[in-house]
Structure 1
Amino acid sequence: MTVLVNVIVMVGMLVVVPAGLRLTGLPELDRIGRLWPLFAVPGAVALWLPRSPAATAFALCYALGTVLLALHAPRRLIRSRDLSPGQVALLTALVTPAVAALALVAERAGHELFGFDLEILALTVPHFHFAGFAAALVAGLVCRVSESRAGRFAALSVPLGTLLVLVGYFIGDWAELAGAAVLTAGMWTVGLLTWRLGRERGRDRTTRLLLLTSAAVLVATMLLALSWAIGEATGLPHPTLTWMAATHGLGNALGFALCSLLAWQRIRDRHPSESRTA
């Protein structure tokens, strides 16, 4: 499982985050995106080293980049004083990689942060790159384009669900199940709106395929996430963590996040006003 999780995290670090930052249309984030390899490459190296001071040092390099990114959230909030649903989704996307980096540093150091074992910390890293950063960013994009109640729901429920899942780590399985339910509802709404975008007239075939694939994958991957959370809370049979990494994790990384960001990049190139989150 470790190799697969590391590959998924590398996709998040090296591809998803910089691609997402470009899609925001914000010059200051685009500049961070251009510098991102300076932080992400050491982070990727840290994944493959044995737990050691060297691995921790490389992970700290990545953490520095995520902190610089997270600091833009309060700055933007103070400057714009905007708490619209789309803006909440964007602010969430800016902060969540730092949560992933904190877990990475602790795991690479062999430190059971807040009492969580190293396996859970390792899985927290991809979770907050994809269910955190990518999901919140895409929710903000569909909210801006749809300008509907469903879009606003998606842009608020994805950040809320992500936060509730994080809180559930500390409270217990039932709280985590509540977070998974809210996050699933938000992600399925993102999938529905993405499907509608893919069915619109005027979309080229490649963009249409990417959007429809992203929407379809979300149905399956979030159903898996919900079934796992239900199983953890109730004791009912549910997929193992290894199976979840191979299905839910890989599907969200490649089928949802990568396909979504590629589609939105194509939309931005053809219709720039459609793909801005702010």
Structure 2
Amino acid sequence: MKQRLVPPPISLLLAFIGISFAAPLARLAGVDGFTAAWWRLLVGSMVTLFVAAASDKLPPPYLVLRSVPSGVFLALHLALWLESLRHMSIASSTGIVVSYPVIIGIYEALIKRYITVRGLVGVLLGFLGIAVLSTPWAGATVIGAALSFTAAVFAAMYFLIGRSLRVRGASTLEYTSAAYFAAFLVLLALTPLAGSEPWSVPSRSIPYLVLLGLVPMLLGHSTMNYALGFYPATIVTGVALLEPYGASLLGWLLLGEQPPLASIPGTVLSISGAWLALTSAHPVLKREIKGGR
């Protein structure tokens, strides 16, 4: 019998709350995307490695090396998505970035020649939602929409590589601690090239940046991994796909950012398409698509 540290339904609620805070915390920090991602991965990777060490599940060196490509895509995903928040509304940014199952659906169709009518409908609805969310009426700019969509592509690559490592026997804690640490090392190298100085941020930004690593990545993602022990991945991922609604509500309450009217149908279309694409994927792949920002 699985040990229930937290009642499973409560774990889903905590995961939803955790991931929904990512966009508002990034806005409150008021820094560029590479800096926000650097701090998020610094805090997230250090705490995850500590937990792995305490649980005697530190990733072996070979897994750390194999996780480097995954870390590259995770680092770019977070940096570009967090940067997109400086150019568009929270509703549009989060609505576009959670469309990564749509990208994976296209991969399944083109590379593996696997697609269903449900998956095809999901891809079409997803791209229709992205198109609506990319308009000025939804609070978007061209550069913001491009950054958020590119971040969704990198998220899809991150999950696909994670799938290949997980099916080879790496545990969730081993893989996530290796991938988070690899991603942090990647950003450690990329931030100077991007002209960012994450070690020299205003003191008022630091509490929000630390919370960005603790709340969305650890409370949100860790609780989602816990919930996977009790619920199918599609249910847990369904909670992750609801992030735009939670983030938009928190942005409204904490920042006074009312979601643009056009972002509402766009978000509904994007999430519906992502859900259809997700639930039509291979069973093994569905176990690996779990996360958000």
Shared fold (TM-score, shorter chain, > 0.5): no
User: Could you tell me the TM-score, scaled by structure 2's length?
Assistant: 0.31
User: Could you tell me the TM-score, scaled by structure 1's length?
Assistant: 0.32
**Structure number with higher helix proportion:** 1
